[in-house]
Amino acid sequence: MERKAKCMREKFKKGELVIGGHAFLTDPCITELFGYHGFEFVWIDAEHGAFTLPCVQSHIQAAASADTASIVRIAWNDPVLAKPVLEMGPDGIIFPYIRTPEEARKAMAACMYPPKGIRGFGPRRANQYGVLEDREYLDAVDDSLLRMVQVEHRDAVECLEDILAVEGLDLIVVGPCDLSASYGMIGQTHDARMEMIYDTIAEKCKRLGKPFGVSLGPSDEEGIKNWIDRGAVFMGCADDMNYMRMGSMKTLTMVRDYVRSRRQSI
C-alpha cells in the first residue's frame, strides 16, 4: 500500500537526494522509459501538459510497471481536480502556485479524509480495485501519498514558516521560473538576487527541519549543483521534450561537423 512514498520519505529524513524527470508528452511510454533508465520518480505534469484523466492514469500505471514513483502535478489548487487523480493511486501529488498557509491547508484537506480533510470516499485504483478492505486502505492511506506544494511566488517566501507548519505537508518544491517572475525578474533564475532568495528558502526549511526540493530546466548544471549544495532532497531535472531536443541537437551537430570536416579534407 505504501509503495514508493514511504521509501522517499525515509530518504528525505536521511538527507538523500531523489532525482526525477518531467513528463509533458501524453504517451505513457515516456514515463516507463524514465523509470527503466533509473529516474526515481516521474513528474507527470497535468498543469502544463495536454493530459486528460485517462492519460494521467496511464502514466501512473507506467510508472508502477517501471518501478518508479508517480508524482502528479495538477493544474491548480482545487479539490475537484485533485479528487480523481488521488483515486488513481499516485505516489505523490503537487499543488502549484501556493501563496499562503491557508492555500496550503486547502491543498492538504483535499488529500485527506474527514476529520483531517474533506476528501470524498471513492478509491478505485488507489485501493487496488477493492483488493484492500476499507479499513486496511484507510489505515495506510495518509502514509501512501507524498503531499507537496510549490513555492513559486514571493508571497509564499514571505510566509514560508507558516506554510511549512501546515499539517500533512511533506515537502515544498521551489519553481525558480515563476518565482523569479513574481519578483519582476522573469527568466533571470540565476540572478544574484534570486540566488539569495533561494538561500533564504533553504535556510528556513533546514531551521525548521522540513525537506525541500526544486524543479529545474534542461541542462541547468549550475542550478543542479547549487540546489544540491543547499540541501535539496527532491529534484526534477528537465523534461521529455527537452531531452529529445538536446539529443537531436547533439546528433545533428555531430553529423554535420563530421560531414564538414570530410569536405574540408578532400
Whether the Cβ atoms of residue 182 and residue 153 lie closer than 8 Å to each other: yes
- Residues forming beta bridges with residue 69, ordered by sequence position: 41
CA dist., res. 84 & res. 65, Å (int): 21
| pLDDT given for residue 219 in this prediction | 75
Q: Which amino acid is at 165?
A: A
Query: Which residue is it, cell 505513457?
Result: 28
Q: Give me the active site residues, please.
A: 48
User: Which helix (H) or strand (E) element contains residue 43?
Assistant: strand 41-45
Taking the C-alpha atoms of residue 181 and residue 236, their distance in angstroms, rounded to an integer, is 20
Give the pLDDT of the chain (266 residues) as one tens digit per residue.
557 999 999 999 999 999 999 999 999 999 999 999 999 999 999 999 999 999 999 999 999 999 999 999 999 999 999 999 999 999 999 999 999 999 999 999 999 999 999 999 999 999 999 999 999 999 999 999 999 999 999 999 999 999 999 999 999 999 999 999 999 999 999 999 999 999 999 999 999 999 999 999 877 899 999 999 999 999 999 999 999 999 999 999 999 999 999 999 88
pTM for this prediction: 0.96
pLDDT at residue 1 in the model: 54
Whole-angstrom Cα distance, residue 242 to residue 235? 16
Half-sphere exposure of 188 (CA within 13 A, CB side): 13
Residue 134: CB atoms within 10 A of its CB come to: 11
